[in-house]
């Protein structure tokens, strides 16, 4: 069953201007060390940050909170599998909210997809509750 859906559209040029203006202060407030390392080695560094920004916004919407109620930017982080597929990980208050949303007997899965077409970066997040498997029977 679907527990939450979120989407966000971010302007890459706006994120680039924010990076120019606030630099490490912005990076360290919003992005984990892993996200920063990934973005900093990419040719399209602002686009990489913009996609992750959009993913965090989309995730907060899927959690039903937006960026309020105690959720922090770094409570949501995008990493990638070896295949390149993005994966959303939640910690802190975001993880608590996810657990609260998840019905008994289910596990929560967060699906995320990212795309960009300059000057736009977009993310979709779907939170699914999947029944736990029973070894009985």
Distance from C-alpha of 125 to C-alpha of 23, rounded to nearest angstrom: 27
For the chain, the domain total comes to 1
pTM attached to this predicted model? 0.92
Q: What is the span of the domain harbouring residue 36?
A: 2-131
Residue 43 domain flag: yes
Is 108's pLDDT higher than 90? yes
Average pLDDT in the chain = 94
Residue 137 domain flag: no
What CATH number is associated with residue 54?
A: 3.90.470.20
Q: Outline where the chain has alpha helix (H).
A: 12-30, 33-40, 45-62, 92-101
Residue 136 domain flag: no
Q: Which of 35, 114, 136 is nearest to 76 (CA)?
A: 35
For 55-107, write each residue's pLDDT tens digit.
999 999 999 987 666 678 999 999 999 999 999 999 999 999 999 999 999 99
DSSP string of 54-90?
HHHHHHHHHTT--S-TT--GGGEEEEE-TTS-EEEEE
């Amino acid at each position: 069953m679907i527990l939450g859906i979120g989407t966000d559209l971010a302007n890459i040029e706006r994120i680039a201007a924010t990076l120019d203006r606030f630099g490490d202060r912005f990076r360290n407030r919003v992005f984990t060390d892993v996200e920063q390392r990934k973005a900093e080695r990419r040719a399209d560094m602002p686009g990489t940050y913009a996609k992750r920004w959009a993913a965090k916004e989309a995730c907060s919407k899927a959690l039903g909170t937006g960026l309020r109620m105690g959720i922090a930017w770094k409570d949501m982080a995008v990493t990638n599998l070896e295949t390149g597929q993005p994966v959303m990980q939640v910690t802190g208050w975001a993880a608590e909210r996810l657990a609260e949303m998840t019905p008994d007997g289910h596990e929560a899965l967060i699906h995320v997809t990212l795309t960009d077409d300059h000057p736009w970066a977009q993310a979709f997040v779907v939170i699914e509750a999947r029944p736990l498997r029973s070894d009985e029977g």
